[in-house]
Structure 1
């Protein structure tokens, strides 16, 4: 699950992983979520609801699933898809409808955009792959216009009564699927470890609030292993 990644050391390691998995990224997302991934991406695009004719930024665009859905849903808006991985971007740019989107390679920790450039921001599986979580969210606050919304699709560490079962599933099933579907157990072992070590939705919501976002909410998906969060920059 996806991309725009970080500074040097850890960043170069993660960059290498996502360069390697780009060719089977969509297939693995479909298998691991039992076909739910594209539906979640459609929900992310629906929730961002940029102003008519506005500018929309899709971070960690990966193979462009959210960006392409946003371009279909908001044809009057200008959509920019950003990722750190060249291979991911090349896969995105080869898809039908890709000509409607501006694709750009960039680091989410240092976005090459002016303050208050975008009416909405979407992202998929970015935050668990960055070193400076607060800094990346702060960058998004900076480039978002007042009144604009951010919508985040992310993995979620299991909790509650199902935590032992879902934790086992993430630790065992995800790397196994990586081996069976993609012949790449090591990359999906990273996915397993980064998912289990990531922050709770409440933690992310608290960070968003601390940065100044308001109207914050979230919905867990797929037995609590994924989550969609949203927040608005005050006018």
Structure 2
């Protein structure tokens, strides 16, 4: 579970949070998921499956974990890692293999790419951090080629019989870990609130279907607090 992307200007507020947490972002992701985060990112990369020599976009790339996993898995593909946090991108560019990815500053609500530019799109923890979810999904649909696949890694509000326990855990443990590991309780309190308030996988799937996606599915992770969703743009 991570935070890559309130009243007032949510975009400016979230941008400020990600600029601030970039230095301990990877460490907190590892701690909060008990080391599972990179495995999930590799699964996202595996599921997008662009064609040989294809174009792949990783949105909300953060420090580039998904983008770098995709570049390793698909050596003939061109991978673009895009994020609105300049500091996150700076950190991504310092990682091993970073020269195999095209890093680009971009706003997910107004992507600087032509229609049908990409054979696949991946993203990690973007959707819960935007103020206009419909616009962000429409932009991804616009730049994705017909038949291309989108794969999403997101947090998931707890449900079922474990919901009371998991709600308590998210509300209590996440801000506490932020204080202990990163000395930053306030940023991770935002993570707690954005996770519990976010849409269910069923709701996201319905939005994707209305936009013209098909073959939609998802798999929950980590006691139902995270989810990987996938969908294919209709031809």
TM range, smaller chain: over 0.9
Q: How do residues 1-235 of structure 1 correspond to structure 2 at under 5 angstroms?
A: 1-3=2-4, 9-235=9-235
- Deviation of the 1:51 alpha carbon: 1.0
Alpha-carbon displacement from aligned partner over 1:13-40 (angstroms, at most 9, x marks no partner): 0000000000000000000000000000
Q: CA deviation at 1:48?
A: 0.1
Segments of 5+ residues of structure 2 without an aligned counterpart are none
5+ residue gaps, structure 1, are none
Distance in structure 1 (CA, Å) of the matches to 2:179 and 2:69: 30
The Cα of 1:9 is off from its aligned counterpart by 1.0
Instruction: Determine helix, strand or coil for the equivalent of 2:136.
Output: helix
TM-score, length-scaled by structure 2:
0.98
Q: What is the alpha-carbon distance in structure 1 between the residues aligned to residue 126 and residue 67 of structure 2?
A: 14
SS at match of 2:202: helix
Q: Aligned partners of 1:81 and 1:124: how far apart in 2?
A: 11
Residue 165 of structure 1 deviates from its aligned partner by 0.4
SS of 1:195's partner is helix
Give the RMSD, CA atoms, in angstroms. Answer: 0.8
For residues 34-62 of structure 1, give each alpha carbon's deviation from its aligned partner in whole angstroms, at most 9, with x where no partner exists: 00000000000000000110000000000
Aligned residue pairs total 232
Shift of 1:234: 1.2
**For 1:133 and 1:12, how far apart are their aligned partners in 2?**
16
Q: Distance in 1 between matches of 2:56 and 2:132?
A: 23
**3-state SS of the aligned residue for 1:90?**
helix
* 2:150 alignment partner, SS class: strand
Length-normalised TM-score, structure 1: 0.98
Return the offset for 1:2.
Answer: 3.9
